[in-house]
Structure 1
Amino acid sequence: MNILYITLSEPRLSERGIYPDLVRALRRASHEITIVYAASPARYKKTELIRENGVNILRVVVGENFNVGLIKKGINTLKLEPLLKLAIGRFLKDKSFDLCIYATPPVTFAGVVDYCRKKFGVRTFLMLKDIFPQNAVDIGLFKKGSPVYRVFKSKERRLYALSDAIGCMSEGNLRYLKEHEPWLEDKRLSVFPNTIEIREPENGALAKRQPKEAVSFVFGGNLGKPQAVEWLISAIGDRRLKERRDIVFYMIGTGSEKEKAAKAAKELPNLIYREALPPDEYERLMAGMDVGIISLDHRFTIPNYPSRILSYMNEKKPVLACTDEVTDIKELVVEKARCGLWVSSDDRDGFVKAVSTLAENAGLRREMGERGFEYLKENFDVELSVRLLERMINV
């Protein structure tokens, strides 16, 4: 089948991640992929259609949406949809597609999706990775019922209405959507889990900066408000942990809270911060870690399901999940995969106890890591995503 994939981010097809892994798997299954994405003017000078790794890529140069002021970002956001539609009409006018896929975030692609439905007569599939604006309300970015909320809620519902099918990350996600958007027909909703290309874990590791006997805990990925970075720093800085020399924590990544992580690493003897690393270096570093941390703000009322957990499971790392009570990550980690421990992300005592349990039991860490890897192979292989997409159009 011919698939049109619309995204805000630059596709990095040689890297690992749920989206590049999916594109590569679709190509292996002999499907034709065309990616349309919003390119940064700082990196590219003109809009163009290229072919890379067997995939058509329409690079649409739009206004910068990252690391700019709110007013400029707002103006560039308004220009985004018209520029994408203009480029699709110009460069893809002779193409035909069977399926159009896209993910949240963002919820602002409804106009582009509508344009593609009408132009190509294509079926549309939303990969629901983010329930916005409710997640922003949960962590206090704005209030429910405010003008900003109403604008984004309208965009969210329009995107749902334009989607022939919506794939939710987990059963919890699916239940939430059915409960809060009862106007959506059940037949349009299904579970479409995060999946990855599963690889044998690396044996090598970068040299560690801490003593060899120290057990290393790593939090890698986006460092933003949803990840409860401030709480995680405070828990790591608990005197019962920072006085120990047999435990060290890593924070790796970038985002709105990165300065807090960098500052804390200078003040706490048990925390090391590294900004985003090249993929190969990041994977080697991960191979040397002992435990992977998932962190989400305890105020969430929507069941988030971070894809980061899959990379931990692939590396046979036990998981310490620090989240809200609502997410079914707890069920995955503790009951289904039995690959780690869970604590509420406002329970510092629980965090200290869980860290101590994992640090002091190497055998338990190995058992959890092995169980997580086996569960990953059975439930989160990217080939599952390919089969689900193929089923949509009865291939």
Structure 2
Amino acid sequence: MRVLLINQVFYPDVAATAQHGHDLARDLVRHGHEVTAIASRSIYGRKGAALASHEVVDGIEIHRVGRSLFGKAGIAARIADFVLFYLAALTKALFLPRHDVVICFTTPPFIAAVGPILRFFKKTRFVYWVMDLYPDLPIACGVMKPKSLASRFFESVNRRCLRSADADVVLGRCMADLVRSKGVPEDRIRMIGVWSDQEEVKPIPRAENQYRSQWDVGDRVLVMYSGNFGIGHDVATFLDAARRLREDDRVRFAFVGGGKKKEEVESFVRDHGLESTCILAPYQPRENLDELLSAADLHLVSLLEGVEGIMVPCKLFGILAAGRPALYIGSEKSEISRVVVENDCGASVR
């Protein structure tokens, strides 16, 4: 079978959807399928075209198109970059040889609209891998008004994508409920939780951990938030916890990764003089993931109230593979809360 994956980020990017897309592609290749990916030439959030336009990695043929002209300069600039990627990705997909199935992700939002076009022109079956739901996310976070013309337009676009797909892959029970409420037939919804490769991520003892040594953590309790600091995540709660525990030398916090709210985290740490108790670090290389996740004694996972079902943080499963507990902050209706409680692998609070 010939499979096409379309997502703005892919190998070697370290964004979560890039890693899961690469994992899926490698597994399909191992099972004898021909896999092609269309992605951007830019590393997520950065300007310019840093990546090769074409290469073969792990048996996956990767076509990279367009480039980010603005990085994360602002909403209007990001929309412009998204539009450029839509056009470049659609053009590339139309001119490539026919694939049996196309799998569209959600970076950028509504890239899944390419799926129905390929099915119409090339009779390609269309799978929508729903990582996040738009415009649900910006509406839930107060960025867009629910009844605005833009919200109603983008909601109609997403519903058409969901309903036209041969299969909609969702990440949890809460997301399945939300997709079902948008009129998607039950027989088209497939729940496939995100994963962590236990060969790649495994527990590393504290005494042997390079991050604990590098950050001079010693025997203190290290509480970590690692990954995307996005608009749907609650950062205020754990920042307040770091402030309240600033005088307790037994505890250290580590905030590792990037995203829209990372600057808020950095400003809070700086403004409250928490540099001695809070470690700030960018995204770390994927090959260091087990070392990074094993460094913490407790991991933080969070969602704002009302975002459950719209997104499902994938970081939990890497945390569990590293043998560490998770503290989830958010609604008990979230898939993450349910997994934590049902499997007794941490705690869920709101």
What's 2:319 paired with?
312
Instruction: Classify the secondary structure of the residue corresponding to 1:156.
Output: helix
Aligned counterparts of 2:217 and 2:251: Cα–Cα separation in 1: 9
The CA deviation string for residues 180-211 of structure 1, in whole angstroms up to 9 with x for no partner, is 21x32111112121123222333431115345
Distance apart, 1:70 and its partner CA = 3.7
What pairs with 1:33-44 in structure 2 (closer than 5 Å)?
33-40=35-42, 42-44=48-50
CA contact (8 A) 2:48 2:68 kept: no
Distance apart, 1:12 and its partner CA = 2.2
Q: Does 1:295 align with 2:306?
A: no
Instruction: Classify the secondary structure of the residue corresponding to 2:323.
Output: coil
Distance apart, 1:225 and its partner CA = 2.2
Distance apart, 1:216 and its partner CA = 0.8
CA contact (8 A) 1:35 1:56 kept: yes
CA contact (8 A) 1:13 1:24 kept: no
CA contact (8 A) 2:5 2:104 kept: yes
- Point out the more displaced range, 164-173 or 301-310: 301-310
Bigger Rg, which one:
1
Letter in 2 for 1:237: R
What pairs with 1:314-333 in structure 2 (closer than 5 Å)?
314-333=321-340
Letter in 2 for 1:230: A
What is the total number of aligned residue pairs between the two structures?
335
Instruction: Classify the secondary structure of the residue corresponding to 1:145.
Output: coil
What's 2:258 paired with?
254
Letter in 2 for 1:262: E
Aligned counterparts of 2:238 and 2:158: Cα–Cα separation in 1: 31
The CA deviation string for residues 78-117 of structure 1, in whole angstroms up to 9 with x for no partner, is 3332222222233x1xx23221112224332244212321
Q: Kindly, what percent of the aligned residue pairs are identical?
A: 21
Using structure 1 for the length normalisation, give the TM-score.
0.78
CA contact (8 A) 1:291 1:317 kept: yes
What's 1:230 paired with?
236
CA contact (8 A) 2:130 2:170 kept: yes
What's 2:56 paired with?
51
CA contact (8 A) 1:22 1:196 kept: no
Instruction: Classify the secondary structure of the residue corresponding to 1:20.
Output: helix
CA contact (8 A) 2:223 2:300 kept: yes
Aligned counterparts of 1:304 and 1:84: Cα–Cα separation in 2: 24
Cα distance change, pair 64–89 in 1 and its aligned pair in 2 (3 A): same
Letter in 2 for 1:309: L
Instruction: Classify the secondary structure of the residue corresponding to 2:105.
Output: strand
Aligned counterparts of 1:74 and 1:14: Cα–Cα separation in 2: 22
Using structure 2 for the length normalisation, give the TM-score.
0.87
CA contact (8 A) 1:296 1:322 kept: yes
- Point out the more displaced range, 66-75 or 122-131: 66-75
What pairs with 1:243-282 in structure 2 (closer than 5 Å)?
243-266=247-270, 267-268=273-274, 269-282=276-289
Q: Does 1:83 align with 2:65?
A: no
What's 2:71 paired with?
66
Q: Which has the higher helix share?
A: 1
What's 2:179 paired with?
177
